[in-house]
C-alpha cells in the first residue's frame, strides 16, 4: 500500500505546474528549484469493527526553494512557495482519494528554513491518507 500511495503522490506532484523536480527519496543536491521530496510514512491503524480496520498513512513532502540573493532571492522565493502551497492544497482537495487509491486525503503544511549548502525556504506538507480495510 505504501508504494502505491507514494506513486500516487509522486504523480500528483509531477502534474503541478511550477514544481521543477519530484523525488521519492531525499536527495543530497538538486539541479532546479523548486523541488519536491517525498519522505517516509508513518502508519497507524484502528479497528472500526470486527471486520474493518481503518489505516492511516502520513507522508511528509518537502518543497525546497533556494533563496540566495544571487539566485531567486528571498522575496521572490517566498512568493513562489506561498503560491505553490495553495496550488498543492487545491490539487489534493480536487482529488481527495488520489484516484481511488485511498478513501480520504487531508493536508496540513508549515514553512521553515533550512541550510543545505544554499539557504532554503521549505514548505513541509503532511498528507494524511486514510483507507478502510475489510477483513475476510
The string of pLDDT tens digits covering residues 73-84 is 677 878 888 899
SS3 category, 136: coil
pLDDT band at residue 29, thresholds of 50, 70 and 90? Answer: confident
Q: For residue 64, count other CB atoms closer than 10 A to its CB.
A: 23
**Angstrom distance (rounded) from CA 129 to CA 20:** 24
- Distance from C-alpha of 118 to C-alpha of 97, rounded to nearest angstrom: 36
pLDDT-derived band of residue 70, with 50, 70 and 90 as boundaries? low
- Mean pLDDT for 59-72 is 80
Reported as a single tens digit per residue, the pLDDT across 73-125 is 677 878 888 899 999 999 999 999 999 999 999 988 887 776 666 778 889 99
More confident residue, 111 or 57: 57
* pTM for the model: 0.87
Which of these CATH numbers, 3.40.1160.10, 1.10.645.10, 3.30.2000.10, 3.40.50.10320, describes 2-134? 3.30.2000.10
Q: What pLDDT does residue 73 have?
A: 66
What pLDDT shows up at residue 71?
A: 56
User: 69: pLDDT confidence band, cut at 50, 70 and 90?
Assistant: low
Domain locations in the chain as residue ranges: 2-134
Amino acid at each position: 500500500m505504501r508504494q502505491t500511495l507514494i506513486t500516487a503522490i509522486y504523480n500528483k506532484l509531477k502534474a503541478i505546474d511550477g514544481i521543477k523536480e519530484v523525488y521519492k527519496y531525499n536527495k543530497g543536491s538538486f539541479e532546479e528549484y523548486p523541488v519536491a521530496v517525498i519522505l517516509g510514512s508513518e502508519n497507524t491503524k484502528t479497528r472500526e469493527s470486527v471486520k474493518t480496520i481503518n489505516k492511516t498513512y502520513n507522508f511528509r513532502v518537502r518543497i525546497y526553494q533556494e533563496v540566495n540573493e544571487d539566485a531567486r532571492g528571498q522575496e521572490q522565493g517566498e512568493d513562489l512557495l506561498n503560491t505553490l502551497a495553495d496550488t498543492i492544497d487545491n490539487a489534493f482537495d480536487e482529488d481527495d482519494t488520489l484516484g481511488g487509491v485511498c478513501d480520504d486525503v487531508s493536508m496540513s503544511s508549515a514553512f521553515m528554513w533550512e541550510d543545505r549548502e544554499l539557504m532554503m525556504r521549505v514548505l513541509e506538507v503532511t498528507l494524511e491518507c486514510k483507507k478502510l480495510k475489510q477483513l475476510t
